[in-house]
Amino acid sequence: MQFELTNEFVAHVEQLIESKEELQLSQLFSEVHHADIAEVLDDLNFENALFIIKLLDAEKTSDILTEIDDDIREKILKELSSKEIAKEIDELESDDAADIIGELSEEQKKEVISQIEDVEHAKDIVDLLRYEEDTAGGLMGKELIKVNENWTNMHCVKEMRIQAADYDKVHTIYVVDDNDVLKGRLSLKSLLTTSTRTPVREVYNPKITSVRTDDQDEDVAKTMQKYDLFVVPVVDEMDRLVGQITIDDIVDVIRDEADKDYQMAAGITDDVQADDGILQLTKARLPWLVLGLFGGLGAAYIMGGFEEALEKYKILFFFTPLIAAMAGNVGVQSSAIIVQGLANANIKGSMWDRLLKEVGLGLVNGIVLALLVLGYGLLQGYDLTINYVISSSLLVVIIIAALVGTFIPILLDKRGIDPALATGPFITTSNDIFGILIYFLIAKMMLGF
């Protein structure tokens, strides 16, 4: 049965903690998945969360620490001794262990690593800490099964049994040569259907997709998505097998990248959460709000340059919000499609082909919307020339906004800048200014003021 977090359950846990009912708490959480316990701890105050962490055994709490909110984990780690942290680390796979140790100070890192009982595990963690967090090396785990291409199937099975004894899961059997260079993968079917004396090199599959330690995490995600992989081996610059990345780590990368792009598109510069402090949230939001403010001032300045026209043709003023809104909306739509395409690596053809396509799309959409506005103006009895000014301005603004929304993300991507920057307030503000300027220039040209 799936666990469901309720206010009643949290209140019950708080009552047991207050009463120091340690046995009941242990029994209560004995059958609850570590991810669900992490969710419970996120709802408790820090003192109660720390009480639960210290109550449960390291085998369970180590997994809880990987799931719990980053801020709470940071506070908990500060309350644990280096020896206590080392016990937690001993229970984790190397990639998760490296992630947690990476959050510690340099001095405490050394203390914790020195107290890890499994020396090989400690070496693996130290090796992983060498890599940048957003690379394949920073994502990979060292736990894997590998066999030598020169072994017989019988020898291969014996060695696999020894290796697998230390691991919870066996995803793939990798084949390497005497220098640990990755050669391919070995299927269970091949082991079962061939002679025990058959050399591995005669039955393994050499077709295998791998990534390098310095590949960016987003590129790893794209590779796994493209080839429908749930695990991918990682090799160094000499093609030696050094680790593997599993799908659960890539899901985290995809989620984090999506969160970052969503926040950037909404005009939030830093990675923040809803329960972060006011100062942190202000620092993340204020820069784009300032940009919007200056954009609004720029639009007001442009309108001020046509003050006489607005006095003579007051109807133009009432359609200014419409022009600005349509420019912003079209720009955001175009940029969102392009950013999504760039993220999924499915933008085909040259930039000019893409821009030409957007011109055609903007032309079709613009004509339909311009005709609707023209029809509205005729029903309201506006002057025919005014109707033409508004509808033709809308058509031109939509085409320009589509081009800007397409060109800017592509240009940023080519410059190595996250194209998600081009969505949201940036595109909206710039297209508002362009839209209003184009609107009044066309009005000036057609009305002769």
- For the domain that residue 321 is a member of, what is the CATH number? 1.10.357.20
Q: Are residues 88 and 188 in the same domain?
A: no
pLDDT the model gives residue 284: 62
Q: Are residues 347 and 289 in the same domain?
A: yes
pLDDT the model gives residue 258: 66
pLDDT averaged over consecutive 10-residue blocks of the chain (449 residues)? 80 91 90 89 90 89 88 88 91 91 91 92 94 93 94 92 84 94 93 89 94 94 90 96 92 74 56 63 69 77 74 80 84 77 67 78 89 89 87 90 83 73 69 85 81
Q: Are residues 116 and 189 in the same domain?
A: no
Q: Give the residue carrying structure tokens 């003192």.
A: 47
Tally of structural domains, the chain: 3
Residue 80 lies in a domain: yes
Instruction: Report the length, in residues, of the chain.
Output: 449
Domain extent, residue 402, equals 278-447
pLDDT the model gives residue 278: 72
Q: What are phi and psi of 31, to 5 degrees?
A: -105, 10
Q: Are residues 243 and 288 in the same domain?
A: no
Alpha helix (H) residue ranges in 175-246 = 188-193, 217-226
pLDDT the model gives residue 372: 93
pLDDT the model gives residue 142: 94
Q: Are residues 206 and 115 in the same domain?
A: no
Residue 266 lies in a domain: no
Residue 370 lies in a domain: yes
- For the domain that residue 77 is a member of, what is the CATH number? 1.25.60.10
Q: Are residues 288 and 412 in the same domain?
A: yes
Single residue among 134, 167, 183 that ends a domain in this structure: 134
Going by their DSSP bridges, the two strands 211-212 and 231-235 should be labelled as parallel
Q: Give the residue carrying structure tokens 């060109």.
A: 407
Residue 260 lies in a domain: no
Single residue among 206, 223, 255 that ends a domain in this structure: 255
State the virtual CA torsion across 189, 190, 193, 194 in degrees, nearest 10: -170
Residue 261 lies in a domain: no
Q: What are phi and psi of 38, to 5 degrees?
A: -60, -40
Going by their DSSP bridges, the two strands 182-186 and 173-176 should be labelled as antiparallel
Single residue among 72, 103, 134 that ends a domain in this structure: 134
* Long-range own/partner contacts, residues 219-224 (CB < 8 A, 24 or more apart): 220/136, 220/139, 220/245, 220/250, 220/253, 221/250, 221/253, 221/254, 221/257, 222/344, 222/345, 224/250
Q: Are residues 190 and 86 in the same domain?
A: no
Give CA–CA dist 96/410, Å, rounded: 35
Residue 262 lies in a domain: no
Residue 270 lies in a domain: no
Residue 265 lies in a domain: no
Alpha carbon 173 to chain centroid, angstroms: 29
Q: Are residues 311 and 443 in the same domain?
A: yes
Distances in Å between the Cα of 31 and the Cα atoms of 19, 21, 25, 39, 317 are 21, 17, 11, 15, 66
Q: Are residues 327 and 236 in the same domain?
A: no
pLDDT the model gives residue 281: 65
Neighbours of 449 (CB within 10 A): 15
Alpha helix (H) residue ranges in 56-152 = 58-67, 70-79, 82-90, 94-101, 106-114, 119-128, 136-139
Q: Which residues contact 66 (CB under 8 A, 6 or more apart)?
A: 92, 96, 99, 100
pLDDT the model gives residue 256: 73
Q: Are residues 59 and 125 in the same domain?
A: yes
Positive or negative, the Cα torsion across 172, 178, 183, 188?
A: negative
pLDDT the model gives residue 255: 77
pLDDT the model gives residue 422: 58
Q: Are residues 174 and 245 in the same domain?
A: yes
Q: Are residues 101 and 216 in the same domain?
A: no
